[in-house]
A and B are shown apart, each in its own frame.
Chain A
Amino acid sequence: MSIFSYPLSRVQKYKRLLESHALPFVPLALFLLLPQPAHAHAIAGNRVFPATLEVDDPSVATELTLPAVSWGRGPLDDTGNFPNTTNIGAEFDLLVAPNLAIGISDGWNSQTAKGERGVYGFDSISVSGKYLFYENDDREILMSAGLVVDIGGTGASGFGDDGTSTFTPTLYFGKGMGDLPDSMALLKPFAVTGTLGVAIAQNRSNPNVFQPGFTLQYSMPYLKSAVKDYDLPDFINHLVPVVEVPLSVGLNNGAHTWGGTIDPGVIYLARTWEFAVEATLPLTAGDQHGVGVAGEFHVFLDDLVPAFFQPLTGGI
């Protein structure tokens, strides 16, 4: 086969593959090409919802979290230790239509304890799709729906990957308090976000898990730009104090115990990036021993390199 005929044969092969598999995706492609008025990012009028560490925000955007780092001491193990557990992760999300984003994430774990052999390994790879279906700028409301799939067999068995997948349909919401009356002006920078998801295990011996999560945040950027500019230092005007509460409870197979953490922290929100750090406080002794810490660096790629990232379809 000549140097010219080989690429041509590849093209023919890919063309045949496309023709045989493309038909089911035609309705989806037509849907994505429809004009869609809402804009990307977690913005509703004056309100910008920052990316949070544990409870995913309703944003659909092209963004990168790298790295997300957490450390804590696990619950008491069989040998009487509280093992040190560290996770270093990353997530990439891509806006493929004005209201639709897809994402992929993974993390690497380390679990060590005095006198024990360390355990190391990757999480299962997670892929996700999220669609922003409601935006109200005056009421500062965003609502999205999505599906997160933890792909079985892509992670380490020592960190929960038994070779089967988990499917988590999730509802995401955000609500700013900017529509409060002017007599409560200093409460307007408050916002709540949350998720309601059910992790459905492919392996029926594993329990399905209800995963609600909530955040309460106070936006200093909002205070300055929409309520009252107090001439505070610029650094202060970029801060968003936040409390996250990720929760979970088993729905079947006898796993009906609530678990989770309460995570107070602060986010520094710049125009194209943000940095967040939080303490993690366990709700029960089965979740974690003592106080842990989590942090992440997050880049809004569509703002940082706007000429490179834009939705594949539709208007902006």
Chain B
Amino acid sequence: MSKTTTLRVISHAIAVAILFGSCTGAVAHAFLDNATPKVGSVVTTPPKTIRIQFTQRIEGAFSHIHLFAAGGQEIATGPAAADASDQAVLTAPITGTLAPGHYEVRWDVLSVDTHHTNGHFPFSYQP
């Protein structure tokens, strides 16, 4: 096959691909950028809230934060909400009582582009 024919085949393929892909919608992803308490940190006072900064804006109504103690029991938290001034930030108040120990924050979010991601990170409370 000549180079010209090859390039023609490729250009047709790309054209078809673009045609197939040219629908409206989105599938972008939100990942954890930083958090408070900091990922893997040891805090000396019990945190009142969990704050997570994501790499892109999220839909607060469809995003959640849960807190678990090392034994697996869930610590009570209030509803998570996106920050009014920065939609890439999700916060949730901790309404339960923290005993000294290791904890795991589990999050799942829906980005404004409607893509779902989830993850978890640890921190410890040692007064």
Q: Assess whether A273 is interfacial by the CB under 8 Å rule.
A: no
Q: Report chain A residues within 8 Å CB of B56.
A: 271
Query: Contacting chain A: which of B24-32, B60-68, B77-85, B91-99?
Result: B24-32
Bound complex: CA of A286 vs CA of B117, how far in Å? 45
Partner of A226, one of B9, B25, B26, B39: B39
Determine if B41 and A104 form an interchain contact, defined as CB atoms under 8 angstroms apart.
no
Q: Which residues of A contact B (CB under 8 A)?
A: 39-41, 43, 45-46, 48, 62, 92, 94-96, 104, 106, 121-122, 125, 127, 137, 153-155, 182, 185, 221, 224-229, 271, 301-303, 306-312, 316
Known A-B contacts A125-B10, A225-B32; the reply to A302 vs B41 at CB < 8 A is no
Known A-B contacts A39-B115, A40-B27; the reply to A122 vs B3 at CB < 8 A is yes
Known A-B contacts A154-B1, A309-B21; the reply to A226 vs B121 at CB < 8 A is yes
Q: Which residues of B contact A (CB under 8 A)?
A: 1, 3, 6, 9-10, 13-14, 17, 20-29, 31-35, 38-41, 55-56, 102, 113-122
Cβ-closest 3 pairs across A and B: A228-B40, A306-B26, A310-B25
Determine if B27 and A46 form an interchain contact, defined as CB atoms under 8 angstroms apart.
no
Q: Given contacts A95-B27, A226-B39, could you give 6 more A-B pairs where the C-beta distance is less than 8 Å?
A: A46-B119, A121-B3, A302-B28, A306-B26, A310-B23, A310-B25
Q: Which of chain A's residues has its CB closest to B40's CB? A: A228
Known A-B contacts A154-B6, A226-B39, A228-B39; the reply to A308 vs B28 at CB < 8 A is no
Determine if B39 and A225 form an interchain contact, defined as CB atoms under 8 angstroms apart.
yes
Determine if B9 and A125 form an interchain contact, defined as CB atoms under 8 angstroms apart.
yes
Q: Report chain B residues within 8 Å CB of A121.
A: 3
Question: For chains A and B in complex, what number of residue pairs have CB atoms within 8 angstroms?
Answer: 112
Bound complex: CA of A307 vs CA of B114, how far in Å? 11
Bound complex: CA of A225 vs CA of B118, how far in Å? 12
**A269 CB → nearest B CB, Å:** 10
Q: Report chain B residues within 8 Å CB of A62.
A: 21, 27
Bound complex: CA of A312 vs CA of B24, how far in Å? 10
Bound complex: CA of A155 vs CA of B3, how far in Å? 8
Determine if B40 and A229 form an interchain contact, defined as CB atoms under 8 angstroms apart.
yes
Q: Report chain B residues within 8 Å CB of A96.
A: 20
Partner of A303, one of B1, B9, B29, B34: B29
Determine if A41 and B29 form an interchain contact, defined as CB atoms under 8 angstroms apart.
yes
Q: Which of chain A's residues has its CB closest to B119's CB? A: A46
Bound complex: CA of A310 vs CA of B14, how far in Å? 16
Determine if B28 and A226 form an interchain contact, defined as CB atoms under 8 angstroms apart.
no
**A132 CB → nearest B CB, Å:** 14
Q: Report chain B residues within 8 Å CB of A306.
A: 25-28, 113
Bound complex: CA of A48 vs CA of B55, how far in Å? 14
Bound complex: CA of A271 vs CA of B39, how far in Å? 20
Determine if A224 and B21 form an interchain contact, defined as CB atoms under 8 angstroms apart.
no
Q: Which of chain B's residues has its CB closest to A311's CB? A: B27
